[in-house]
Amino acid sequence: METARELVRQARDRGVALTGPDGLLKALTKTVIEIALDEEMAEHLGYDKHAVEGRNRGTSRNGKRSPNHQNVQWLQRTRALGSLP
């Protein structure tokens, strides 16, 4: 709770808006969602992003697999949250 208060104080001191397209809330929300999705993916695959354990495995994060139903759902959810174009 105190960390959040400090972030708000710092944003105000620097003249950063709390809401709006360039505001603290949007940036903080985007960061939290990206971290949560990375952690969820790491837990699902069993290794962290860029980890040696994942290289040349069927679950590699290489972007070369064809989209399946779960991938499409993840992309739709992420785009709806504003993290992807």
**pLDDT tens per residue across span 25-71:** 999 999 999 899 989 988 888 888 878 877 777 666 655 555 555 56
Report pLDDT for 25: 92
Global confidence as pTM: 0.58
* Residues contacting residue 81 through CB under 8 Å, at least 6 positions apart: 29, 30, 33
Is 85 within a domain?
A: no
- Number of structural domains (the chain) is 1
Distance of CA 67 to the CA centre of its chain: 19
Top-confidence residue, 71 or 84: 71
Amino acid sitting at position 48: D
Is 20 within a domain?
A: yes
The conformational region for residue 53 under phi > 0 = left, psi -120 to 50 = alpha, else beta, is alpha
Report pLDDT for 38: 87
Is 76 within a domain?
A: yes
Report pLDDT for 69: 57
